[in-house]
Structure 1
Amino acid sequence: MVVGTRARVSLGLRMVAALGAIAVVSVSIILVAAGVAGGMIVGGVIVAAYFVSLSALPVSNTAVSGFVGQFSMSTLLGGAVLIGLALLPTLYLTPVRAEIQEFKTELGTTGQLAVDRHPKIASIARRLAQQAGIPEPTVRIVTRMRPESYALGGRSDGTIVITRGLVRELTDDEIEAVLAHEISHLANGDGRLMGLLLVPLLLAEHVGSDERPKFQAIHTYGTVILVYLGQLLTWVVVTAVTTVQLWCCLLGVALFSRGRELAADRGAAELTGSPSSLASALETLDGGRGRPTEDLREFKRSAGALDILPPRDDSELSSPFRTHPTTETRVDRLRSMASQNET
């Protein structure tokens, strides 16, 4: 299974573009997250000092204003970002790391081993891995009725996840073609690279997932209004920024993913010697899918980017943001390969 020079250059350029977009987004996510966290603390200190000045304590309003006035806006913003950076591991990175681990667990370590439940599938994967020149991947079968397949990890520690729905929908030849597609991803190093690209996407999903703050009239009315306005402003800023970041992440992932999907299709066709089997599998899976009705977290776009087919709502996106080529495009390419093999 050899990728041509032209295809390698195309994949390389796509990877550079994707990494560039993701790098810019990652830096902006970190700075915004740090600014929000630090800004809330700095703002809280200023508000607290203001209310202290209104109390019976011997601190005048003029003194507080004078203290705050000693610092320029850039100094306050810079201080907020520095404070936020110090707090970032606790406030953001730790929860996101836990979410990423949960994401991987849901996709890759649940379900039963194919070697126990479906020895024939495990045997097919072993043979295909030998043909591709990589160690045998772990194959797991999860108990979801929606037909899906994923490739996780790298060449030496890969895991392929398929669902019971996929096993039930496809013929043996089609299952072999799907396994060959996922093994091609592992052989090309796509699982590891995609895992890195999905980290900032998961971060954007996590940071921007909070609901709009609700006004609750408790304690001193004036204090509540200020606190609520601060929460509302924070929510507006974070929502606006993370929405832009999320779409930039999707663009970066899409730039990387589409070319890799076509390369994995070609690799699967070469491994099995039957491009028509994968074409048939894609048509069957595409026709048998609907919108997910299970836990929505499992079907975030970050998960859909790893699947052999995109989520159903991916078709609603314009071309630059699609994580996969259209099924029609992929099937046409595979049918063309099959025709060339027959001549």
Structure 2
Amino acid sequence: MNVMRTGILLAGLMALFLAVGYAIGGQTGMLVALVISVGMNIFAYWNSDKMVLSMHGARQIDRAASPEFYDMIAKLSRNAGLPMPKVFIMDNPQPNAFATGRNPENAAVAATNGLLSSLSYDEIEGVMAHELAHVKNRDTLIMTVTATIAGAISMLGNFAFFFGGRDRNSALGPFGTLLMIIVAPLAAMLVQMAISRTREYSADRGGAEISGKPMALASALNRIAGAAHRIENDTAEANPATAHMFIINPLSGHRMDNLFSTHPATENRIAALQRIATEMGTAPQAAPDHPSGPWSTSDTSPKGPWG
């Protein structure tokens, strides 16, 4: 059902993109929009992972740099039946993580040193299992395509603002074009949000199955959500278009960027994980409160025990 829903939403997003092109320039505009969409998605397919990792200052590690964390990812990858992904650490105090890559063979997972220093081993395992579930479900590619099309719709909306109203080929005329400028980006954002929320629930279930510890993941979500409001992620605040990639929305909510969240409510995700725990025969009890991570030190710099 989730796969079908995602497919329908993606088709709707693409149809909206073509409609904006048609509103600007009729059939010619729709054809141009199609060409732009294909070109942007081809570029994103090959380069989005490198761009987002670089954007967040992620540095790749090997087993020698962080054996505990690397071995954890290797074990979870075997559980999921996935190739070993590239492993990255972001020097950021906010606990969070994301996955990227066009397919399981070219995937990468990234965690902040804030995550590695403040959560328990089981909680970190639950988070990284969630990210590997995204890889297994190919959500990383889906969300890249979604973000690319949504961004292109906004770009075309700006183009229509400057040229559409004066273009005699515009199918809707000045008033219709103005309406499209306002409605289309908002509709694209809502569709992107719906797709992201659908994929998060699926990844929560997949992560619980991969790690076998649904309540550890639930505890991690609760702790990360609380920290995200206290600890600002400067890189994410500067690049809010990448917020949907993280396990918990990294935006503090102090700015308008967080008006429409791409993530489901954390309490709803925790409730779903409690139901999954019951299905799996795992007692749905809260994990103990850990003041710090199992390998944390007073120095959370790159020289710490996690890399």
TM-score (norm 1): 0.64
In the alignment, is residue 121 of structure 1 matched against residue 64 of structure 2? no
Contact kept? 1:145, 1:163, Cα under 8 Å: yes
Secondary structure of 1:161's counterpart equals strand
In the alignment, is the contact (CA less than 8 A) between 2:92 and 2:233 conserved in 1? no
| Structure 2, gaps ≥5 residues long | 168-172, 285-307
Identify the residue that residue 133 of structure 1 maps to in structure 2.
Answer: 81
Q: Which residue of 1 aligns with 2:121?
A: 172
Whether 1:183 and 2:132 are equivalent positions in the alignment is yes
Q: Distance in 2 between matches of 1:306 and 1:297?
A: 15
| Alignment CA distance shift 1:148-1:245 (3 Å) | farther
Return the alpha-carbon distance in structure 2 between the equivalents of residues 246 and 101 of structure 1.
25
CA spacing shift, 1:136–1:101, aligned 2, 3 Å:
closer
Whether 1:105 and 2:50 are equivalent positions in the alignment is: yes
Mapping of 1:121-270 within 5 angstroms? Answer: 121-153=69-101, 154-207=103-156, 241-270=180-209
Residues 1:331 and 2:278 are matched in the alignment: no
Counterpart secondary structure, 2:88: strand
Q: Distance in 1 between matches of 2:267 and 2:46?
A: 34
The answer as to whether partners of 1:148 and 1:307 remain within 8 angstroms in 2 is yes
* Shift in CA distance, 31/271, structure 1 to aligned 2, threshold 3 Å: same
Contact 2:153 2:184 (8 Å CA) reproduced: yes
Q: CA RMSD in A?
A: 3.8
DSSP 3-state at the match of 2:87: strand
CA displacement at 1:22 relative to structure 2: 0.8
Measured after TM superposition, the shift of residue 242 of structure 1 is 4.2
Aligned to 2:244: 305
Q: Among 10, 18, 32, which residue is 1:27 paired with? A: 18
Cross-structure match for 1:15: 6
* Matched-pair identity in %: 23
The Cα offsets for residues 113-159 of structure 1, whole Å up to 9 and x where unpaired, read as 13254232121111111111111111111223333321112222111
Counterpart AA for 2:120: T
Paired residues, what number? 266
Supply the distance in 1 between the matched residues of 2:150 and 2:195 (Cα, whole angstroms).
13
Amino acid aligned to 1:118: S
Partner of 1:42: none
Change (3 A) 1:16 1:131: same
- Report the Cα offset of residue 235 of structure 1: 11
Which one has the largest radius of gyration? 1
Per-residue deviation at 1:250?
2.3
Give yes or no for contact 1:18–1:251 (8 Å, CA) kept in 2. no
- Asked whether the 8 Å contact 2:123–2:216 carries over to 1, the reply is yes
CA distance in 2, matches of 1:274, 1:295: 28
Q: 1:250 to 1:281 in 2, by over 3 A?
A: same
Determine if contact 2:44/2:148 at 8 Å carries over to the other structure. Answer: no
By relative contact order (CA 8 Å, sep 6+), the higher-ranking structure is 2
What are the Cα deviations for residues 252-280 of structure 1, in whole angstroms up to 9, with x where unaligned?
22332222211211121122221111111
Q: 1:271 aligns with which of 202, 210, 230?
A: 210
1:342 to 260, 283, 290: 283
CA distance in 1, matches of 2:104, 2:45: 21
Secondary structure in 2 aligned to 1:160?
A: strand
Counterpart for residue 74 of structure 1: none
Q: Distance in 2 between matches of 1:260 and 1:245?
A: 23
Q: CA deviation at 1:21?
A: 1.4
CA distance in 2, matches of 1:295, 1:198: 15
Confirm or deny: 8 A CA contact 1:114 1:139 kept in the other structure.
yes
- 1 or 2, which has the higher helix percentage? 1
Cα distance 1:335–1:99, how it changes in 2: closer, same or farther (>3 A)? closer
Code of the aligned partner of 1:246: P
In structure 2, relative to structure 1, the CA distance for the partners of 1:94 and 1:262 (3 Å cut) is closer
Ranges in structure 1 where 5+ consecutive residues have no aligned partner: 1-9, 36-76, 214-226
**What amino acid maps onto 1:189 in structure 2?**
R
Shift of 1:185: 0.9
Conserved 8 A contact 1:275-1:334: yes
